[in-house]
Chain A
Amino acid sequence: MILTNGKATDAKIVVSGLKKSFGRKKVLDGLDLTIGRGESLVVIGGSGSGKSVLLKCILGLIRPDAGTISINGEMMTGADRSTRERLRRRIGMLFQGGALFDSLSVWENVAFSLTEGEGHEHLPRDKAHEVAIEKLAVVGLGPEVANLAPVELSGGMQKRVALARAIAAEPETLFFDEPTTGLDPIMADAINNLIVASVERLGATAVSITHDMASARKIASRIAMLYQGKIIWDGSAEEIDRSDNPYVEQFIHGKAEGPIALPVRAL
């Protein structure tokens, strides 16, 4: 159960007072968020609201201007490279575009965390190949795709391979950046099912960001809404449809009219 920031004994990730600006644009403005162990949190918010920046700050890919982030009680902010790499070995990440390595085959992508990387024993290639085929099967892909190049796959298949790569090292925490963006509704639902199944199978903590409400409802145990650099609403997936927060209401119903002003001019 989540108590207060930093004081929860079972908190997996604690974000406190996080600030990040790009030039004059404040993207994150003192954001606080605590994610419990085993929770599946989905952060929703409009395009450009800072969801990806939040995720990249947690992963240590972007350095915040202020605030702290801890994972498993260890500080990610200000940590040296070896600490960050140690923390990341227990993390899996699915990028929005898949981010598969063009120069490697599908199975080499999936097995990357087992054959490369620093600070851990590497598996022999034949063993890593076996694990990759296993993980590809978990995401519904057969061994016939193993030796293909990522560019030979469709968008949906690339997402599946990227998911297989994210879960290959059996991480404790999974991050999903817009997992269904660019996919047709059926493939998007299939990816959502795979995410739910993977998180359950691993018993992992999951943090996803999306603006796809169907995806959020499917994969979240808890939803938080990000607006103007802060979490303005936080509750269970069931509660969101009953929320009377006008920002949440506008967002989940996809209305152009409401308190969230769009930066467009009338014709």
Chain B
Amino acid sequence: MMEFLAAIGRRAIAFFAIAGRLSLFSGQALSHCVRPPFYFHNIGRQFWLIGYNSLPVVGMTAVFTGATLALQTYTGFAHYAAPTAIPTVVVVSITRELGPVLAGLMVAGRVGAAIAAEIGTMRVTEQIDALDTLATNPMKYLVVPRILAGLLMLPLLVFVADIIGVLGGFVVSSLILNLNEAAYLTTTINALKTMDVVSGLVKASVFGMIVAMLGCFNGYTSRGGAQGVGIATTNAVVYASVLIFFSNYFLTELFFAL
């Protein structure tokens, strides 16, 4: 019994130790985001890598999600009010939930893993120590550009994903389900509220920061060669995905309360 309790205690201590380290790391990283100097070429490069290069994967996810959503909604609402239900369900689901959450998860898999692997490799090959000895703050040089890129690029990606997702639903509804195109578009526009888009974009910003922060944290604190980098990469994706779902619930509650 004591051993069992001790095991739980050890895990609890380890959890709180990681949570504490992550909090300190996040505080430090965010404070550097607003303090010069800024490495603008690194920031621009990360905007390109995290934003532009994620466009295909996020776009593909959005178009098929919108299309599938239209088909599923048609199945559910075929006997009731499919022509109005489908565009409404598609646009609200995509902008409020599916756009930011799925884009966040795809970016966590693509970008979060890449960040953790790159920074982790830099850690175990002493490149981060080298930055320090070259009087360059690794937080400013490596972490800040990625955090800013996550924070600012994911909302842009989600905005594009929203359009593509709705377009996917529209194409399926008009070509396969034979709904009237003009009516579909009118219903979509009428159903869409500014808050739907804004809440989705705010969520995207938070998810982008979570993905970048966990990628940087896991990479930065990785130890022990290739195996350590592998563990860091896995942890970055898993923790980011879980935190996206977790924060999504609370953000949704917050927006309902507004």
Contacts from A to B (Cβ < 8 Å): 56, 59-61, 81, 85-86, 88-89, 91-93, 95-97, 99-102, 112-113, 116-120, 165, 175
Contacts and interface: CB of A to CB of B under 8 A. Distances in A.
28 contacts: A56-B129, A59-B129, A61-B129, A81-B137, A85-B135, A86-B135, A88-B132, A89-B135, A91-B133, A95-B126, A95-B129, A96-B126, A97-B125, A97-B126, A99-B125, A99-B130, A100-B130, A101-B122, A101-B127, A102-B122, A116-B136, A117-B134, A117-B135, A118-B37, A119-B135, A120-B135, A165-B134, A175-B133
A39 B151 CA distance: 50
A120 B121 CA distance: 28
A208 to B, nearest CB: 15
A101 B37 CA distance: 20
Contact of B133 (A86, A88, A97): A88
Given A91-B133, A99-B129, A101-B127, 7 more contacts: A61-B132, A86-B135, A88-B133, A88-B135, A116-B136, A117-B134, A117-B135
Contacts of A91: 133
B170 interface: no
B136 A93 contact: no
Given A99-B125, A99-B127, A101-B127, A93 B37 contact: no
B16 interface: no
Interface in B1-18: none
Contact of A59 (B37, B132, B140): B132
A113 B129 contact: no
B52 interface: no
A88 B134 contact: yes
Could you say which interface size class chain B belongs to? 10 to 19
B235 to A, nearest CB: 22
B136 A99 contact: no
Contacts of B137: 81, 85, 118
Interface in B89-135: 121-122, 125-127, 129-130, 132-135
A66 B222 CA distance: 25
B134 A113 contact: yes
A101 B130 contact: yes
Nearest to B39: A116
B1 to A, nearest CB: 28
Contacts of B133: 59, 61, 88, 91-93, 175
B29 to A, nearest CB: 14
Contacts of B122: 101-102
A102 B137 CA distance: 18
Contacts of B136: 112, 116-118
B220 interface: no
B141 interface: yes
A180 B136 CA distance: 26
Contact of B126 (A85, A88, A89, A99): A99
Contacts of B135: 85-86, 88-89, 113, 117-120
A60, A88, A96 pick with most chain B CB within 10 angstroms:
A88
A99 B122 CA distance: 8
Contacts of B125: 97, 99
Contacts of B132: 59-61, 88
B127 A116 contact: no
Interface string B136-175: 1100110000000000000000000000000000000000
Contacts of B141: 116
A155 to B, nearest CB: 13
Nearest to A87: B135
A35 to B, nearest CB: 17
Contacts of A88: 132-135
A80 to B, nearest CB: 12
A112 to B, nearest CB: 5
Nearest to A93: B133
A60 B126 CA distance: 14
In the A-B complex, the 7 residue pairs with the closest CB atoms: A99-B130, A99-B126, A93-B133, A117-B135, A85-B135, A88-B135, A117-B136
A59 B129 CA distance: 9
A89 B140 CA distance: 17
